[in-house]
Amino acid sequence: MLGIAGLLVLLALWWLGTDVLAAPGSFARRFSPASAFASLGGLLLHSDLPIHVYVSLQRIFIGLGFALAIGVPMGLAVGTFGALEAATTPAFQFLRMISPLSWMPLAVMVFGVGDRPIYFLLAFAAVWPILLSTAAGVRQLDPRWLLLARSLAATRWEMLSRVILPGVTGHILTGVRLAIGILWIVLVPCEMLGVSAGLGYFILDTRDRLAYSELMAMVLLIGVLGFALDALARALCRRWA
């Protein structure tokens, strides 16, 4: 209930700023909640917006898939071998502090215009929380589990699949949740990068058409979808942690 109350307060502040405090006929009134909700309903029912939503979600999950494929194995290795952790930590900390968006010109030069530079930028943004969370999970494993597995003559594959991975699943999912939040923030500016579909592209289109109520509707939709993705990640964390 408190969460719903907070959302209602946020909606009330939005309404006050655009409908009450703004002067009649002012530019701010074009961004009112009533106009945004009406435009959102029309866009969902009578436009190709669902296709743009699908394209954006597809990019999110592909970028997340690349990040998992890179981050989990590297995190397992870094968490297992102390020398590797000591050797890679400075480089990892340096790279993760670079904004993914600063790589945009280089990504376009290397991969060209289209989806490939977007996948690179999304994977670069998402790999760090997954890698670091996985490594932290490995370091926090109870050493007695590993000793018990060795005493039972477990192979390396059995130790990995039956001891280590189940033991770090919660940490991996925590990294995934953090990564999804970062991905959703990075996605929209990435989709303003020479593509013809996606939520970022659609926002630019509304701006060019001076469709301000639709622009605000897109901002609202991006918030709702991001909230839903985070809720899904939280549910997975509760289920598997």
Per-residue pLDDT reduced to its tens digit, 125-165: 999 999 999 999 888 877 777 777 777 766 777 777 777 77
Per-residue pLDDT reduced to its tens digit, 77-110: 998 888 888 999 899 999 989 888 899 889 889 9
Report d(CA 79, CA 90) in Å as an integer: 15
For residue 66 the two structure tokens come to 């690349």
On the question of pLDDT at 48 being above 90, the answer is: no
Domain count of the chain? Answer: 1
The predicted pLDDT at position 10 comes to 80
On whether residue 98 sits in a domain, the answer given is yes
On whether residue 87 sits in a domain, the answer given is yes
Residues with Cβ within 8 Å of 173's Cβ and at least 6 positions away in sequence, in order, are: 233, 236, 237, 240, 241
pTM, 2 dp: 0.85
On whether residue 6 sits in a domain, the answer given is no
Backbone angles phi, psi at 173, to 5 degrees: -65, -35
Q: Do the beta carbons of residue 222 and residue 151 sit within 8 Å?
A: no
On whether residue 38 sits in a domain, the answer given is no
CATH number at residue 97: 1.10.3720.10
Q: Do the beta carbons of residue 59 and residue 119 sit within 8 Å?
A: yes
Report d(CA 123, CA 59) in Å as an integer: 10
On whether residue 23 sits in a domain, the answer given is no
On whether residue 70 sits in a domain, the answer given is yes
The predicted pLDDT at position 160 comes to 73
Report the greatest alpha carbon distance in the chain.
78
On the question of pLDDT at 29 being above 80, the answer is: no
The predicted pLDDT at position 239 comes to 79
The whole-number average pLDDT for the span 6-20 is 77
Domain hosting residue 193, numbered range: 50-240
Report d(CA 204, CA 193) in Å as an integer: 10
On whether residue 109 sits in a domain, the answer given is yes
Q: Do the beta carbons of residue 172 and residue 134 sit within 8 Å?
A: yes
Most confident of 32-41, 57-66, 89-98: 57-66
Per-residue pLDDT reduced to its tens digit, 178-229: 999 999 999 988 888 778 888 888 888 888 888 888 888 888 899 899 989 9
SS (H, E, C) the chain: CHHHHHHHHHHHHHHHHHHHCCCCCCHHHHHCHHHHHHHHHHHHHHCCHHHHHHHHHHHHHHHHHHHHHHHHHHHHHHHHCHHHHHHHHHHHHHHHCCCHHHHHHHHHHHHCCCHHHHHHHHHHHHHHHHHHHHHHHHHCCCHHHHHHHHHCCCCHHHHHHHHHHHHHHHHHHHHHHHHHHHHHHHHHHHCCCCCCCCHHHHHHHHHHCCCHHHHHHHHHHHHHHHHHHHHHHHHHHHHHC
Report d(CA 41, CA 20) in Å as an integer: 23
Report d(CA 107, CA 146) in Å as an integer: 42
On whether residue 159 sits in a domain, the answer given is yes
